[in-house]
Amino acid sequence: MVYDNPWGTFLVEARDVLEKAFKLAYPELEVKIQLDKPPSREYGDLSCSACLSLAKKASTNPMEMAEVVLKHTSLKDSSFIEKIVVSKPGYLNIYLKRSLMVGEALKSALTLKDEWGYVKTDKPLRIVIEHTSVNPIHPITIGHARNTFLGDSLARILNARGHSVSKRFYVDDVGGQVALLAYAYKLAGDAILKLDAKPDHAIGRVYTTISALVEIRKLKNRAENLRKSGKYEEARRVEDELSDWIGILSEVEKKNSDVLQTLLNGMKFSDPEEEVREILKAYELGSEQAKQLIRPIVEKCIMGFKETLERVDVSFDFWDWESEIVWSSIVRRVLNRLMKSGCVKFENNVPEFEAGRIAEDPLVRRRLGIPDGFEISSLTLLRADGLTLYPTRDIAYSILKFQNADVVINVVGFDQTLPQIQVRLALYVLGYKEQAENQLHYSYGLVKFPGFKMSSRRGRYITLDHLLDESEARAYMEVSKISPHLSEDERRRIAKSVGVSAVKYSLISVEPSKDVVFDWDRVLDFKRNSAPFIMYSYARAHGITSKIGVESVEEFDPAFLTQPLEEELGLNIAMFPQVFVEASENLSPHTLAMYCNSLATIFNSFYDSHPVIKAEKNVREARLALVEAFKITMRNALKLIGITPVERM
C-alpha cells in the first residue's frame, strides 16, 4: 500500500484509538487528545499525558485512570500501533510497528518519487506572495536576501501543498528616492551606468553619490544659518552630520570621480531639491518627459535584480509597477472612499486616516490579528502639494493584489508592522473586510551587520552578489581540495550550486522573528548544520546508488533492516510528509531546513557504520532501498527551501 503520509496515518490512528477509549471509559469528560514525542525510545513513539491533567476531574489518580483507559482501547482498526503501555506518573505510551512503518514509508517514497511528501491540501486557495520588492535605487543586499529566500521558500511550500501561488514583485518607482536618482541621471546621463558591469551596482553607487551631494549642500546651508543666528550648539550637531556625509562622499569618490564631477557641475545651475520635487511631481502626473527619464533607469536597475535573482533561482510571476497604480484611478478611488468613511480628519489641511479609531473595537482587532495593546497612529494620506504618499498607494496595491486571490502574504520586515496594520485597517474600512483578514504580514527580523547600521542611502551595505561571490569562491576551494579529479567546468558548476545554497540555508534556517547578526564566518561555515553538509550527505548517497544502479531497488524486503540506525533513518524518512504538512500550515520554512539537517546527520551515521555495496544480497537490496528513499526525501525537502543537491561535490 502507498501512503502519502505514513507518519500522519499513525498519528490519526493513535488519536482515534485513545479518543474512543476515553469516551468509553469516561463518557462525561471532554477530552482533547494531544500526542507528544517521548523523550526517549524506551517510552515508545508517541505519548499522551491527558490522564495527568484529567485525573482530578474524574476523581481518581493518573495511574489508575490510564489503566482504565488502556482497558478500553481497541487496536483492531489500526495498522501501525504495536501496543499501548501505561507508564510512571500516568502516561499512555504508544508503540509503533516500526519495521512496518519503515517498509511502508520506503515503498511509498520509491513509488511517489518527486511527489513524495507533498501532501495536498483539501482546501486549495489562490495565494499571492509579495516579496523582495527592493527599491530600484541600489542592488539587492544581504538584508533583502532574507526576504527573498523566505518569500521564495513560502511560495515553493504552498505550491507543493496544492495551492495556486503567484509571486509578485512591487516595483517602487514612485517617490523621492527614485526621483533623486532620476535627477542624477538627468545631469550625467548614461555615464552613470558605464562604471560597472552590473547596472544595479552602478546605480547604487550613483544614488549614494547624489544623496551625499544634496545632503551636504543642505547641511552646509543649515549650519551657516544656525551660526549666523548664534545657535552654535545646534550648528555643531549639523556639522557633525555634515562631516559624516563628506566622509561617505570621499569613499564613493574613489570609484566614481568622473561622475561626481559631472554631477557637481550640473548642480551649480539649479536647486537640486527643487529639481527633485519637480521630477517627482511630473512623474506622478504622468508626464512623458518624466517617464522617459525614470523608466529607463529603473528598468536597468531591475535588469540587475533579475540577474541576481536568476543566480539564486528565484523568479516572479508579476512585476507590479507602483506608477501604474498611481496613473490608474485606483488611488483616487481609494482616497475618495476613505474620505466618505468618516475615518478621515484634516490636520494642517492634509487628510489623515484615523486608523486607531477603528481599532478601538476589540472585535476588529481580533479579526485582523492586531495585538490588544498595539498603539496605532493616524496615517497621512496626501502631501500638502496633493501628491500621494507611499502608504496610500500601498492600500490601492493591496486591493489590486486581491483581485484574483483569496489570501495575500506580504513578506515584509518587522519594522513595517505598523504600516502593515494600517493598510489592513484601511481595507476593512473600505469594506474589504474579508480581504483585510486574509492579508498576512509575514514578518521577519532584520539582518544587521555588527559595527554599523546598514544604510542604502549611505552606501553602507553588503550586496547579495558579493556574498554569493565569496561563498562560491569558498565552495570552489573546497571542491578543488576534495575532488581535484573533477573537471574545471564541473567544479565551477558545483561551487556555484553549493555557494548559493550555503547562503540560502544560513538565512532560512533561523526562525524568522529573530534578528540576524550577519557573520561571514557563520555563513561561510561549511561544516555541520549547513547546506554543504546536507548536500554532502546527498552526494555520498548518490555515490552508492550510482555504483549499484538504481534499477535494482525494485525488489527489497524491509525485514532485513534490523539495525537501530537503519530504523532511525527509515522513521525519519517516514516523518517527512508530516513535517511538510506542519511546515506549510505554519508557514515555517526553517522547520524544513532543520529537518534536512537532522536527516543528513542520521544518514551520515548510518553511512559510517553500515556498508551497502559490500553487504550480503538481501541486506544490500534493503539498504539500497533505504538510501534511494533517503535521496528522494532529501531532494524533495531541499526543493522546498530552494536548494537543489548535486550528485558529486
Partner RNA sequence: GGGUCCGUGGCCUAGCUAGGAUAAGGCACCUGCCUCCGGAGCAGGUGAUCCCGGGUUCAAAUCCCGGCGGACCCGCCA
Sites for RNA among residues 30-59 (CB under 7 A): 34, 36, 38-40, 42-44, 47, 49, 52-53, 56
604 binds RNA (CB under 7 A): yes
Distance CA 509, CA 501 (A): 12
Residue from 2, 3, 1, 16 nearest 94 by CA: 16
Residue from 280, 325, 284 nearest 170 by CA: 325
Nearer to RNA, 6 or 143 (CB): 143
70 binds RNA (CB under 7 A): no
Furthest CA-CA distance within the chain: 94
Q: Which residues pair with 350 in a beta bridge?
A: 347
356 binds RNA (CB under 7 A): no
DSSP-derived 3-state class of residue 129: strand
**What does the block give as the cell for 341?**
468613511
Instruction: Identify the residue whose cell numbers are 553538509.
Output: 533
Q: How many residues does the chain have?
A: 649
Sites for RNA among residues 385-444 (CB under 7 A): 385, 389-391, 414-419
Q: CB of 125: closest distance to RNA in angstroms?
A: 19
Sites for RNA among residues 121-140 (CB under 7 A): 135
- DSSP summary character for residue 514: S
CA atoms within 13 A on the CB side of 235: 12
Q: Which of 159, 572, 597, 636 binds RNA (CB under 7 A)?
A: 597
Q: CB of 70: closest distance to RNA in angstroms?
A: 14
Beta strand residue intervals within 123-257, DSSP E: 126-130, 164-171
Distance CA 37, CA 47 (A): 6
Torsion angle, alpha carbons of 623, 626, 630, 636, to 10: 140
Residue 244 falls in which region: left (phi positive, over 0), alpha (psi -120 to 50) or beta? alpha
Nearer to RNA, 196 or 478 (CB): 478
Sites for RNA among residues 449-468 (CB under 7 A): 453
Q: CB of 2: closest distance to RNA in angstroms?
A: 26
Sites for RNA among residues 287-326 (CB under 7 A): none
Residue 286 falls in which region: left (phi positive, over 0), alpha (psi -120 to 50) or beta? left
648 binds RNA (CB under 7 A): yes
Segment near RNA (CB under 7 A); pick from 22-30, 69-77, 307-315, 506-514: 506-514
Distance CA 630, CA 84 (A): 29
Q: CB of 11: closest distance to RNA in angstroms?
A: 10
Q: Are 153 and 646 in contact (CB under 8 A)?
A: no
Q: CB of 376: closest distance to RNA in angstroms?
A: 8
589 binds RNA (CB under 7 A): no
Q: CB of 296: closest distance to RNA in angstroms?
A: 19
Sites for RNA among residues 249-278 (CB under 7 A): none
Nearer to RNA, 41 or 126 (CB): 41
The DSSP-derived string for 242-299 is HHHHHHHHHHHHHHHHHHHHHHHHHHHTS-HHHHHHHHHHHHHTT-HHHHHHHHHHHH
**What does the block give as the cell for 409?**
502574504
Contacts for 232 with CB less than 8 Å, ≥ 6 apart: 226
Segment near RNA (CB under 7 A); pick from 82-90, 102-110, 264-272, 332-340: 82-90
Q: CB of 390: closest distance to RNA in angstroms?
A: 3
Nearer to RNA, 438 or 588 (CB): 588
Sites for RNA among residues 559-578 (CB under 7 A): none
Q: CB of 272: closest distance to RNA in angstroms?
A: 15
Q: Which of 61, 222, 525, 550 binds RNA (CB under 7 A)?
A: 525
Nearer to RNA, 139 or 391 (CB): 391
Q: CB of 432: closest distance to RNA in angstroms?
A: 20
Beta strand residue intervals within 334-487, DSSP E: 344-347, 350-353, 379-380, 407-413, 439-444, 447-448
Q: Which of 448, 466, 492, 493 binds RNA (CB under 7 A)?
A: 448
Q: CB of 517: closest distance to RNA in angstroms?
A: 6
Nearer to RNA, 259 or 571 (CB): 571
Q: CB of 344: closest distance to RNA in angstroms?
A: 14
Q: CB of 348: closest distance to RNA in angstroms?
A: 3
- DSSP summary character for residue 381: -
Nearer to RNA, 80 or 518 (CB): 518
Q: Which of 76, 228, 485, 614 binds RNA (CB under 7 A)?
A: 614
296 backbone dihedrals φ, ψ, rounded to 5°: -60, -40
Segment near RNA (CB under 7 A); pick from 95-103, 172-180, 298-306, 403-411: 172-180
CA atoms within 13 A on the CB side of 33: 22
446 binds RNA (CB under 7 A): yes
527 binds RNA (CB under 7 A): yes
Distance CA 207, CA 184 (A): 8
607 binds RNA (CB under 7 A): yes
Nearer to RNA, 260 or 283 (CB): 283
Q: CB of 346: closest distance to RNA in angstroms?
A: 9
Q: Which of 64, 324, 437, 582 binds RNA (CB under 7 A)?
A: 582
547 binds RNA (CB under 7 A): yes
609 binds RNA (CB under 7 A): yes
